[in-house]
Amino acid sequence: MPDIRILSDRVANQIAAGEVIERPVAVVKELVENALDAGATRIEVEFRHGGRSLMRIEDNGHGMTRDNALLSLERHATSKINEAVDLDQLGSFGFRGEAVPSIASVSKFTLQTRVEGEERGTEILVNGGKMVHVRECGRPEGTRMQVEHLFNSVPARRKFLKRDQTEAAHIVAGVRLYALASPGVAFTLIDDGRMIFRSPECPALADRVGEIFGRQLTEQLVPITAQEGRMKLDGLIGKPGVGRSTRHEMIVFVNGRPVDNRTLNYALIESYHESLPKGRYPPAFLFFDLPPHEVDVNVHPAKREVRFRSEPQVRSFVIRAVLERLRELRGESAPPIEPTSHWEPLPAPELRPVSPGPQSGGSRGMEAGGQQPSRPMSTDCGPSRLPALGALRQPPAAGPAVESVRTESTAAAGSHRKWRYVGLVHGIYGLFETTAGIVMVHRRAAHERVWFERLQAEFKAGEVVGQRLLLPVPVELDPVAAALLMDRLKFLEAHGFEVGEFGRNFFRIEGVPAWMEPADAEPFLRDLLGAMRDGRLPDGNMDLAREEMARLAAVKAVRLPEQSGEVHWQSLLTQLFACRTPFSSPSGRPTFVEMSHGELARRFQK
């Protein structure tokens, strides 16, 4: 049996680094938190190659003496707490004393610091956990920490890092959070020598949000302030009708600490159920404050998650506060809700979806096959030209020929020609009488399926027709989205967009695809960038990126008329059943449901 031994401090630190230092952004996070705890009013962050080769965090805080600087490299050495009960009154970001020794054990770590009143500062160099030197240095009051060659002593960890662009995006997003958390601190962020943002001290949260996320976003936000007992909610929330396709702009702080908390996130989403359609998320920058003993911040290695002692009380307070503010705004002027691909449920729950068969699953991974289209192209999904739909603006190109899907149900391709149109129900559903019963068709779902396959084939052929805008559309983005847009400009240009850089994080949309209305250009571009940030349009898989873009575009391409007659519906059905997957929309919702004579008889107890 092997002997049990105590690990050396160096090995213990490297093991601890696996939990605390997961990727470069964790290094920046820990060191920025130390700078804020030191009372800094100016923090500069610089990194290169996604943080692999260099990360430098410099502040003008109160600094450290020589002895304290050496002590900070020891495990569990901290000035924040003395006893376990101090966790209940915690007012600082850091408290464990693990970050600095963990970072120094897996990198080349240089610490320079000086306190007020001393003529010289202290410089400490540690390489892979081994002390190289301790000497005097000249520097202004404050601290500078430089991390080079991250994971040089544990090369296996470097293999798990993502691309430089991905790691850089995480660092930018992380620094941005702490800049929002501390409007009174001036932040500077530099990536590979390029200034990402420089935000001076801002007395108001709206000014800091405008500096980092853009002035266009601040115009869509309204302030909120609420207090109930010892709980207080303060910040900015989106106006009714203003939504995003992702949660990237839902940012929550608990006692000044940026966190991911399901209770607060879902409370915010639930509050907007009357103001936003399903699948849209409100932009929000909320600061939730409560007594320190009512929240546990020591439940996650990276301190990104917190736990409340009374989750239901917190949830109900946030919902009431946000709902009251939204209803107050809607009483003054309620902006229209953004269009969406989601719709109301069918009024008749007894209707059952048609059994789609093996080819009628979701559209992910499906490619429209067939011959290459030629201009001018047909306006349908099938091989023959069809009458133009009054509800659809005809695109400059259409998809190739596809085979109809066969099924044993009464909804088989071809049998729809025998359906007798009865009328429009609730302005959404087309009701048809068939030889086997009745069928209800959701016209938006059907239109989205037709447009999805049409645009997917157009994107694959690489023949996207664009239109120049008479008046360019200005777009102001946050630094992460702006960097992502610059990286994917060629992809956008290949799909009909013309976007030009017009300043720091400021762009102009000068051209859009022919199927898009100019008014949809800005919201669609934001949704597209959000999908890219979520990884739904991967740079390395062009087929998947085109498919996801076609799915997003199909929602914007559909324009439903107020009135529709039998000619419209028969033309829509012809185009729908010429598609490869006519049974579901691009988002997976059924395009139609049917009820047989037998089921009708059972319903009426015949």
3-state SS of 502-562 is EECCEEEEEEEECCCCHHHHHHHHHHHHHHHHCCCCCCCCHHHHHHHHHHHHHHHHCCCCC
The pLDDT confidence band at residue 340, using thresholds 50, 70 and 90, is very low
Cα gap 64→8, rounded to integer Å = 26
Distance of CA 482 to the CA centre of its chain: 14
Q: Cβ atoms within 10 A of the Cβ of 2, count?
A: 4
pLDDT per position as a tens digit, 195-208: 888 888 877 888 88
Q: What is the mean pLDDT of residues 132-153?
A: 91
pLDDT at 245: 83
Q: What is the mean pLDDT of residues 381-385?
A: 36
Cα gap 44→35, rounded to integer Å = 10
What is the DSSP secondary-structure string of 235-298?
EEEEPTT--BSSSTTEEEEETTEEE--HHHHHHHHHHTTTTS-TT-B--EEEEEE--GGGEE--
Cα gap 97→437, rounded to integer Å = 72
SS3 146: strand
Of 21-30, 135-144, 373-382, the range with the lowest mean pLDDT is: 373-382
Burial 163-189 (b: 16+ CB within 10 A, else e): ebeebbbbbbbbbbbbbbbbbebbbbb
Cα gap 64→123, rounded to integer Å = 11
pLDDT at 337: 41
Contacts of 541 (CB under 8 A, 6+ apart): none
The pLDDT confidence band at residue 383, using thresholds 50, 70 and 90, is very low
The pLDDT confidence band at residue 11, using thresholds 50, 70 and 90, is low
How is residue 412 written in tokens? 């088989």
pLDDT at 15: 56
The answer to whether the beta carbons of residues 112 and 139 sit under 8 Å apart is yes
pLDDT per position as a tens digit, 531-580: 888 788 887 788 888 888 888 888 888 887 766 788 888 888 888 988 98
Cα gap 20→157, rounded to integer Å = 13
Give the residue extent of every domain in the chain.
9-203, 220-332, 352-458+561-603, 466-513+518-557
Equal fold, 220-332 vs 466-513+518-557: no
What is the DSSP secondary-structure string of 369-428?
-SSPP-SSPPSSSSSS--PPPTTSPPPS------PPPP-SSTT-TTGGGGPEEEEEETTT
Give which of 134, 164, 136 is closest to 150, Cα–Cα: 164
Amino acid at 445: A
How is residue 457 written in tokens? 């084939």
The answer to whether the beta carbons of residues 59 and 42 sit under 8 Å apart is yes
pTM of the model: 0.66
Average pLDDT, the chain: 79
* Range of 4-8, 107-111, 424-428, 541-545 with top mean pLDDT: 107-111
pLDDT at 364: 35
Give one word for 437, left, alpha or beta, with left for phi > 0 and alpha for psi -120 to 50. left
Amino acid at 134: V
Distance of CA 192 to the CA centre of its chain: 24
pLDDT at 542: 87
The sign one gets for the Cα dihedral 226, 232, 235, 239 is: negative
Cα gap 405→469, rounded to integer Å = 40
Helix (H) or strand (E) holding 76: none
Q: What is the mean pLDDT of residues 430-456?
A: 90
What's 159's DSSP letter? T
pLDDT at 350: 41
pLDDT at 188: 93
Architecture of domain 220-332: 2-Layer Sandwich (3.30)
Cα gap 159→373, rounded to integer Å = 44
- Name the packing angle between helices 164-181 and 479-487 (round to 10°): 160
Of 17-26, 249-258, 538-547, the range with the lowest mean pLDDT is: 17-26
How is residue 530 written in tokens? 């959000």
What's 433's DSSP letter? E
- Name the packing angle between helices 24-37 and 164-181 (round to 10°): 20
CATH topology classification for 352-458+561-603: formyl-coa transferase, domain 3 (3.30.1540)
pLDDT at 156: 75
Q: Is the pLDDT of residue 390 over 60?
A: no
User: Beta strands 257-259 and 250-254: pairing type?
Assistant: antiparallel
The pLDDT confidence band at residue 316, using thresholds 50, 70 and 90, is very high
Q: Is the pLDDT of residue 604 over 90?
A: no
Q: Is the pLDDT of residue 148 over 90?
A: yes
The pLDDT confidence band at residue 267, using thresholds 50, 70 and 90, is very high
Q: Is the pLDDT of residue 360 over 50?
A: no
pLDDT at 537: 85
pLDDT per position as a tens digit, 458-473: 888 887 888 899 899 9
Peptide bond between residue 140 and the one before it cis (omega within 30 degrees of 0) = no
Q: Is the pLDDT of residue 317 over 90?
A: yes
pLDDT at 217: 87
User: Any bridge partners for residue 42, and if so which?
Assistant: 186
The sign one gets for the Cα dihedral 44, 47, 51, 54 is: negative
Tell which wins on pLDDT, 92 or 515.
515
Burial class of residue 154 (count of CB atoms within 10 Å of its CB; 0-12, 13-18, 19+): middle
Q: Is the pLDDT of residue 270 over 70?
A: yes
Tell which wins on pLDDT, 82 or 129.
129
CA dihedral 476, 480, 482, 484 (to 10 degrees): -140
The pLDDT confidence band at residue 21, using thresholds 50, 70 and 90, is confident
The answer to whether the beta carbons of residues 161 and 23 sit under 8 Å apart is yes
Contacts of 598 (CB under 8 A, 6+ apart): none
Q: What is the mean pLDDT of residues 340-353?
A: 38
Say whether domain 466-513+518-557 belongs to CATH 3.10.20.30: no
Q: Is the pLDDT of residue 43 over 90?
A: yes
Of 40-44, 130-134, 333-337, 472-476, the range with the lowest mean pLDDT is: 333-337
pLDDT at 14: 58
Give which of 523, 514, 515 is closest to 473, Cα–Cα: 523
The answer to whether the beta carbons of residues 309 and 294 sit under 8 Å apart is yes
Q: What is the mean pLDDT of residues 270-297?
A: 88
pLDDT above 90 covers a percentage of the chain that reads 28
Of 8-12, 226-230, 353-357, the range with the lowest mean pLDDT is: 353-357
3-state SS of 97-145 is CCHHHHHHHCCEEEEEEECCCCCCEEEEEEECCEEEEEEEECCCCEEEE
User: Beta strands 54-59 and 142-148: pairing type?
Assistant: antiparallel
Cα gap 531→538, rounded to integer Å = 9
The answer to whether the beta carbons of residues 282 and 333 sit under 8 Å apart is no
Cα gap 452→166, rounded to integer Å = 29
Tell which wins on pLDDT, 283 or 479.
283
Q: Which CATH superfamily is domain 9-203 in?
A: Histidine kinase-like ATPase, C-terminal domain (3.30.565.10)
Q: What is the mean pLDDT of residues 352-364?
A: 39
The answer to whether the beta carbons of residues 334 and 327 sit under 8 Å apart is no
pLDDT at 535: 80
pLDDT per position as a tens digit, 584-600: 888 888 999 988 888 88
pLDDT at 587: 85
